[in-house]
Amino acid sequence: MARLAAALPPGAVLTSPADRAAFETDWRRLHAHPALCVVQPGSTADVAAAVRICAEAAVGVVPQGGNTGLVAGAVPAEGAPQVVLTLRRMAAVRALDTVGDSVTVEAGATLQSVQELAAGAGRLFPLSLAAEGTAQIGGLVATNAGGLQVLAYGSMRALVLGLEVVLPDGSIWEGLRPLRKDNTGFDLKQLFIGAEGLLGIVTAACLRLFPAVTQRVTALAGVPTVESALRLFQAARDRAGTALTMCEFVSGEAMRLVARRVPGARPPFDAPAYVLLELSSPAADHPLRHAAETVLEEALAGGLALDAVVAQSERERLQLLRLREEISDAELADGGAVKHDIAVPIALIPETVAAVEALVRRRFPGYRLNVFGHLGDGNLHVNVRPPEGCSVAAIGPLYQDITCAVEDLAMARGGSFSAEHGIGQMRIASLGRYKSAVDLALMSALKRALDPHNILNPGKLLPAGQGRDARG
Ligand code: MLT
Ligand code: ZN
């Protein structure tokens, strides 16, 4: 710690338990292990120096962005001595190129600041998620974040043009280039996207920008069944094509939770389930409103939808989005949940939801389902809430039983056990359960090749014994 304090700017090393606490506890408040200290580098050179010092002392480094992740990937794990390295002091904009449509920012810039920067330049940065005011670019890259507009623009992996990364030995990989094409061997930046800080610490990113959206139509439809939600998605996609930029599913239970827990949040009508649709386009003459209204009229006439509203102003649009975006906060305020992040082939969504409902009724009576998510991506958050008055932190081994049962259902359908949240600490057992021996061997080989002493983010992503040496 003395060496860190000497190498970094004044005040960059936090050691008191009070100063460390927020950096040691994950967003879901399920994991809290002490760090030796928290370091706050102000530059890439500082990050490199800190990593070098930690590597020499065989101390793990836990990179942290906004600490809004849902799988405890950015807080210390139990075990080896670790420091948390927060990127929050590195939030500068390094370049904005409106000809090449890219922006280069440091890792600690929040997603919202990048969205606003793009909008100010007449462009769009499309990544969008509930935590965007706090979530930081470095963490979003490291976790390959998804969110509400993946349907149209892809997840973070599709939005990164270049990266600057500090490697586990403290050297710096300079891959911060805005090129659209560069077919010169391994695409190294992809190694670090979604690697959750195990292979390197992202210190800056060059991101793709898109033409600004000039019109948007946002609608909430009430639907009788999950099957009708899926058919409404298909109808909207068939009519709007790539102009369908958001299609989210909210179960009746999820909506009731938001209405109960979030002051001022009220669905415009009651329904068994809801679909939130957004059509948007950079072209001012695109007949978006007509497309949206036609889809909804046909859905209402055919019984696919029971009711629908179209936002008439930006204020109304934000109110509708809020009903979807507040679900996780409402759930946490209501005792939390055994959260899941499954993906299945889209056509299997109705049958998967039915199977999950039957499973919970049969094996976990009294538990309450909270299903919502990214319908258009085949990605559902199938969250299982303990009985009224019982906190999720208190359910013991049942937590893993529920997770195994839900994830088994997804995997049996050719799906994924973690569609967008990553692995962190909370999905390591699932990774060990479902990945093949070849998958695990490849991942371990990469980790060992880049970080043979397991300095970066120890205790995350890889099952114990994979890619860890004696120090970790
Ligand atoms: C969301 O889509 O709101 C988050 O990814 C989900 C969650 O909290 O499970
Ligand atoms: Zn999500």
The string of DSSP codes covering 246-298 is EEEEEEHHHHHHHHHHSTT---SS--SEEEEEEEEES-TT--HHHHHHHHHHH
- Single out the residue of 55, 48, 42 nearest to residue 12, CA to CA: 42
Question: Does domain 335-430 fall into CATH 3.30.70.2740?
Answer: yes
Q: What parts of the chain have a pLDDT lower than 50?
A: 468-472
ipTM for this prediction = 0.97
Does domain 93-211 fall under CATH 3.40.50.170? My reply is no
Question: What pLDDT does residue 399 have?
Answer: 96
Q: Cα(373) to centroid of ligand 1, in Å? A: 7
pLDDT at 391: 86
CATH 3.30.70.2190-classified regions of the chain? 215-328
Q: Is 328 close to ligand 1, i.e. is its CB under 6 Å away?
A: yes
Architecture of domain 215-328: 2-Layer Sandwich (3.30)
- The number of the ligand nearest the C-alpha atom of 68 reads 1
Angstrom distance (rounded) from CA 62 to CA 75? 7
Take atom 7 of ligand 1 and give the residue whose Cα is closest.
328
The CATH 3.30.70.2740 portion of the chain extends over 335-430
CATH 3.30.465.10, the chain: domain bounds: 93-211
Distance 39 CA to ligand 2 centre (A): 30
Cβ distance 265 to 256 under 8 Å?
Answer: no
Q: d(Cα 7, Cα 53) in Å, to the nearest integer?
A: 9
Q: SS3 for 99?
A: coil
28 lines ligand 1 (CB under 6 A): no
Q: Which of 322, 372, 374, 379 to mutate to test the pocket of ligand 1 (most atoms within 8 A of CB)?
A: 372
Ligand 2 centroid–CA 373 distance in Å is: 6
